[in-house]
Chain A
Amino acid sequence: MIKVKNPGLQTTVQDYGRIGFYEVGMPPSGAMDKYSYTASNLLVGNDENAAVLEVTYLGPVLEFQQDAVIAITGGEIPPKINGEPVSMWETLSIKAGDELSFDFVKGGARVYLAVAGGIDVPQIMDSRSTYTLCGIGGLEGRALQAGDVLQVGTDHHHVVKSGTRILEELIPVFSKRHEIRVVIGLCSYRLTEESKERFFSIDWTVTPEANRVGYRFKGERLNFVEREQPFGAGSNPSNVVDLGYPIGSIQVPDGIEPIALLNDAVTGGGYATVCTIISTDLNKMAQIKTNEKVRFIPVAIEEALQARKEHKQKILQMKKHIEGNLEGQMNG
């Protein structure tokens, strides 16, 4: 068991996500930075879909009431055990009675804490991920609170040696300026050519409205091509007949502030979407903070697929390295 002494700003239970229910309006939720999430599970010998804690900006204080193997990955929010700094991206042993806490964030925005066996909460629609808007999944459908007690599950295959580290070249480096690749399309025909050009040539600033639902950006006003609105769309030039929103899609309600939809986003609505963040860069989005700068880079679909392949290669490399550091197999 793990006791929550202080929950941090927004700490939730997340796994790979609630996949396959988009048509009823259920977003996938799940870990926002899947790269770091996967690394944390691999480091403790877990199933790749095991539930972990996603920590945002300000870390929790947790008291372990059992011996455990843990790993902390993601943004740079330096962890400490009983006040002593410990490494990220490394398999750690923690003893019953030990306290895990975090320093202030130095880079990135989200940290993943995996415990060997996974965080054990009930599965809702095949997933343990927390979706706070509707109050489902995770621990009672909400972020952690002081006094909560988390159970450790049995979602692990291997025992990984303490001190096993992710190879240095596979650990991401975080800055305050970001390039996020997108594929243009969807309803991009609604933007004027000039606005399309501006969208890709200015630095967008992340507003305080940046969470698991989506990120809102400040920059400059964009304009839509004038037209008589199609029947059923609504009167604003940014309106379209309500349609599905891909995860990672970007819309610009009234042309004022672009919004990138993320893991807990609304699945559809009536605003023209103009491009979609490539799946690989959704991991990067998760590590961006309010006031940081983002430049959107248009790429062709082949480049998006290539980036995805490279991402898979890195995960494979991690796996191979960790397989060389096993102490044994788990039974069952």
Chain B
Amino acid sequence: MPRYEYGGDEFIFVELAEEMSLEVNFQAMAITKKLREENAADILDICPSNASYMVRFNPDSIHPDALISKLKELEKSVSMDDFEITSRLVDVPILFEDPWTHEALIRFRDRHQDPESTDLEYVARINGFESTDALIKGITDYPYLVSMIGFVPGLPWCYQMVPREKQIEAPKYVRPRTFTPERAFGFGGAFAVIYPVQGAGGYQLFGIAAAPIFEKDSKLVDFKEDMTFPRQGDIFRYRSITREEYDSIRQQVEEGTFRYVTKDITFKAQDVLENPKAFSDDVLRRLYS
């Protein structure tokens, strides 16, 4: 049963489930999509998240309890059977074990569960991978659903589209770092993320994205409409690249010519839930065709 909670007098927080699953994420997407379509003037922000969602409203025009009743009604009317998502497949190049995040993780070793290993070595071991290469393969073999945006502008929480038993899990740092490089690729809980800007962070550091996901000056084509690139519902494929390709992409970014490889897609949530592996294989074929 969803849990409805007041976030002070301006927010309603709705927890759909305590644990993460593709199903509950799709549910949050479907409810917030329908709410958005209503264009209610007394609602200021609609924030879908991983297994919950949040609404910021104007309590001068709607009582929080009236809003909760409305959300309950709306949830009843949302069916997952025919829920379709229109989004993008995106190729996201990552340089694993790069020098910049390596320097950061070494600097904060005293805040880590296992000061003797690197983050990649540690997560490979606790997830039963025989090597860091095997872990990288696990991360890059199957695509991720962008299940939530936030923390700072544009940060995508990404949840791999594989059955539960194949999910990779990692604890967060014992104490968060005060520094994380811009574009760092991290992993925490069951989520992969890219840090849009330099700052604090507690996720395990595995590598660095070659291209930006936040650009305040909107120089690149992909940022013409928004400063932030990721959108909830996007499907990201993290691809392991060489230092050579990394440098080449960095140069294209500098020159303003870089553009993400993307394909538009409309898919049924049910198709993902019924057979995530078949869906993932199909997605990868379409992305690189």
Contacts and interface: CB of A to CB of B under 8 A. Distances in A.
Nearest to A125: B227
A312 B52 contact: no
Contact of A246 (B54, B151, B232): B54
A240 B189 CA distance: 9
Contacts of B13: 185-186, 243-244, 246, 273
Contacts of A248: 7-8
Contacts of A234: 170-172, 188-189
Nearest to A249: B7
Interface in A239-276: 239-244, 246-249, 253-254, 266-270, 273, 276
B142 interface: no
Interface string B31-65: 00000000000001111111111101001100111
Contacts of A231: 19-21, 164, 167, 169, 190
A125 B227 CA distance: 10
Interface residues of B, number: 62
A249 B6 CA distance: 10
Contacts of A23: 45-48, 149-150, 232
A133 B197 CA distance: 8
A301 interface: yes
A261 B93 CA distance: 33
Contacts of B197: 133-134
A233 interface: yes
A288 to B, nearest CB: 17
Nearest to B231: A24
B150 A236 contact: no
A230 B164 CA distance: 12
B10 interface: yes
Contacts of A249: 7-8, 11
A191 interface: no
Contacts of A141: 216
B151 A268 contact: yes
B8 A241 contact: no
A25 B153 contact: yes
Best-surrounded residue of A21, A25, A230, A270 (most CB of chain B within 10 A) = A25
A242 B149 contact: no
Contact of B153 (A26, A235, A243, A246): A26
Contacts of A276: 6-8, 11
A25 B152 contact: yes
Contacts of A94: none
B154 interface: yes
A135 to B, nearest CB: 6
Interface in B214-241: 214, 216, 226-228, 232
Contacts of B169: 231-232
Contacts of B148: 242, 268
Given A24-B149, A135-B216, A230-B20, A19 B189 contact: no
A176 to B, nearest CB: 25
Nearest to A270: B189
Contacts of B20: 230-233, 241
Interface residues of A, number: 53
A177 to B, nearest CB: 22
Contacts of A183: 6-9
B144 interface: no
Contacts of B199: 133
B52 A244 contact: yes
A248 B13 CA distance: 13
Contacts of B59: 279, 305, 308
Interface string B138-162: 0000000000111111110101000
Contacts of A312: 60
A152 interface: no
A187 B54 CA distance: 13
B122 to A, nearest CB: 13
24 contacts: A21-B45, A22-B150, A23-B47, A25-B151, A26-B153, A134-B152, A134-B153, A185-B5, A186-B13, A231-B19, A232-B19, A232-B189, A234-B171, A234-B172, A236-B171, A241-B52, A242-B49, A244-B47, A246-B56, A270-B172, A276-B6, A276-B7, A279-B59, A305-B9
Top 8 closest A-B pairs, CB basis? A232-B20, A246-B7, A276-B8, A268-B150, A230-B19, A244-B54, A232-B190, A246-B11
Given A232-B189, A241-B51, A278-B9, 11 more contacts: A25-B152, A186-B5, A232-B191, A234-B171, A236-B171, A241-B19, A244-B54, A249-B7, A267-B151, A308-B9, A312-B60
Interface of B: 5-11, 13, 15, 17-21, 44-54, 56, 59-60, 63-65, 148-155, 157, 159, 164, 167, 169-172, 175-176, 188-191, 196-197, 199, 214, 216, 226-228, 232
